[in-house]
Homo-oligomer: A and B are copies of this chain.
Amino acid sequence: MALIVQKYGGTSVGTIERIQAVAERVIATRDRGNQVVVVVSAMSGETNRLIGLANQIDKKLSTREMDVLVSTGEQVTIALLTMALHAKGADARSYTGAQIKMLTDNIHGKARIKDIECDNMQNDLAAGNIIIVAGFQGVDHDGNITTLGRGGSDTTAVAIAAALKAHECQIYTDVDGVYTTDPRVEPRARKLDRITFEEMLEMASLGSKVLQIRSVEFAGKYNVPLRVLSSFEEGEGIGTLITTEEDEMEQAVISGIAFNRDEAQLTISGVPDQPGIASQILGSITEANIEIDMIVQNVGEDGTTDFTFTVHRNDYPQAIELLENTGKKLGAKKVKGNDSIVKISIVGVGMRSHAGIASSMFAALAREGINILMISTSEIKISVVVDEKYLELGVRTLHSEFGLEQKTA
């Protein structure tokens, strides 16, 4: 008998009718011979309703009390889903985060899970119960209610799957899986049957926002097979399975094309090439809490260096002002910026064992006349910065170049 952990988000449990539909799906999973633990979010709109009440009181609220308040949202859902299962004749029991002793640190609003007590759940499963757990919430060592931050229900599900050594953790969403790229940009984008944890992390952080990044990290760390699938489909083996690298996956060199529209590029050139120059250049930017994405440094011939980095487009005006001040202090030749650029990345574990991926990528872009403004590489990812007008053309060119529209795995 396999143990399956399923997670349903706020939209999937947004009305009584949808909760009843989830109950049917859960029973169908059980009837296929599985033990089932279900993690749920608050009904869609409920968390915002609660925050709205709090905001009428004050804008600067105690995070401890905020957690007491918003954690009621998931508690309502677990009770209603358990009732819906009972109404359909299934044995089920609900648990709050406190009741399964989902122990976290005490950082209210963005707590991190430290431990889970599995005895209650294991006894209930053995007795034939379906278990319904409130996502997103835990307790600290002193019994204070904590929350994992928005979207934390994915992490709850993965943590429970890891603790119970589940066969699979299924995350139900409103998309039917992870795609080779955004279908709105490349209509020939194809749903992936499998992807590795590492690839998913690169895809997610680059803008394919299907899953909470922390839940993917967690799943990778504890090796919990993670499946993303749609609440509107039925069956086994559907969606996209995120798992460790396996032999059969090696055929796909590139798994997907990620992109990010909201980038801006800043360059400071002709600064002295000496130890510590990078931290002097970036110091004022990071002190202003501006997050830096790509960083590239070229060494020139005359003992000076050029330094280019990207930030979120919203932070561009402040960043360029700070960099101009830094440029004056350091005696830089020039400071310039560009806030109409995008980043396109190819991601794939296969590139580790295949030479020539980068040159194929650059050649394909060159054939379409797309000028590359910046390049950054990691072990399983190559990113380029191009003018924003080339976003769609660039994504489609690379999607085709690496044969992503064809099923390879």
A residues sitting closer than 8 Å to B (CB atoms) are 16, 19-20, 50, 53-54, 56-58, 61-62, 64-66, 68-69, 71-72, 75-76, 78-80, 82-84, 86-87, 93-94, 96, 98-99, 143-145
Contact (Cβ within 8 A) A54 B83: yes
Could you say which of A53, A62, A68 has the most chain B C-beta atoms within 10 Å of its C-beta?
Answer: A68
Instruction: Give the distance in Å from the alpha carbon of A18 to the alpha carbon of B400 in the complex.
Output: 62
Contact (Cβ within 8 A) A56 B86: no
Interface of A is mostly: helix
Q: Which residue of B lies closest to A69 (CB)?
A: B79
Residues of B within 8 A of A94 (CB): 64-65, 68
The quantity of this chain's copies bound in the complex is 2
Instruction: Give the distance in Å from the alpha carbon of A65 to the alpha carbon of B84 in the complex.
Output: 10
Contact (Cβ within 8 A) A80 B62: no
Give the residue of B65, B71, B96, B99 whose beta carbon is less than 8 angstroms from that of A86. B65
Residues of B within 8 A of A98 (CB): 98
Give the residue of B53, B62, B80, B144 whose beta carbon is less than 8 angstroms from that of A69. B80
Q: Which residue of B lies closest to A77 (CB)?
A: B69
Contact (Cβ within 8 A) B86 A61: yes
Known: A61-B86, A86-B61, A98-B98. A54 touches B79 (CB 8 A): yes
Residues of B within 8 A of A71 (CB): 75
Contact (Cβ within 8 A) A62 B83: yes
Contact (Cβ within 8 A) A58 B83: yes
Give the residue of B61, B79, B86, B144 whose beta carbon is less than 8 angstroms from that of A58. B86
Tell me the smallest distance from the CB of A4 to a CB of chain B, in Å. Answer: 22
Instruction: Give the distance in Å from the alpha carbon of A78 to the alpha carbon of B145 in the complex.
Output: 13
Instruction: Give the distance in Å from the alpha carbon of A344 to the alpha carbon of B82 in the complex.
Output: 48
Contact (Cβ within 8 A) B76 A143: no
Tell me the smallest distance from the CB of A330 to a CB of chain B, in Å. Answer: 46
Q: Which residue of B lies closest to A71 (CB)?
A: B75
Residues of B within 8 A of A66 (CB): 79, 83
Residues of B within 8 A of A93 (CB): 64
Residues of B within 8 A of A56 (CB): 16
Instruction: Give the distance in Å from the alpha carbon of A56 to the alpha carbon of B16 in the complex.
Output: 7
Tell me the smallest distance from the CB of A141 to a CB of chain B, in Å. Answer: 13
Residues of B within 8 A of A16 (CB): 53, 56-57
Tell me the smallest distance from the CB of A406 to a CB of chain B, in Å. Answer: 46
Residues of B within 8 A of A64 (CB): 93-94
Known: A57-B87, A98-B98. A62 touches B76 (CB 8 A): no
Residues of B within 8 A of A145 (CB): 96, 99
Could you say which of A72, A98, A143 has the most chain B C-beta atoms within 10 Å of its C-beta?
Answer: A72
Residues of B within 8 A of A20 (CB): 57
Could you say which of A66, A69, A76, A83 has the most chain B C-beta atoms within 10 Å of its C-beta?
Answer: A83
Known: A65-B94, A98-B98, A143-B99. A57 touches B72 (CB 8 A): no
Give the residue of B61, B68, B78, B87 whose beta carbon is less than 8 angstroms from that of A68. B78
Contact (Cβ within 8 A) B76 A53: yes
Instruction: Give the distance in Å from the alpha carbon of A84 to the alpha carbon of B56 in the complex.
Output: 9
Q: Which residue of B lies closest to A61 (CB)?
A: B83
Known: A19-B57, A20-B57. A79 touches B68 (CB 8 A): yes
Contact (Cβ within 8 A) B84 A57: yes
Residues of B within 8 A of A62 (CB): 82-83, 86
Q: Which residue of B lies closest to A75 (CB)?
A: B72
Residues of B within 8 A of A53 (CB): 16, 76, 80
Q: Which residue of B lies closest to A15 (CB)?
A: B56
Residues of B within 8 A of A69 (CB): 75-76, 79-80, 83
Contact (Cβ within 8 A) B72 A54: no
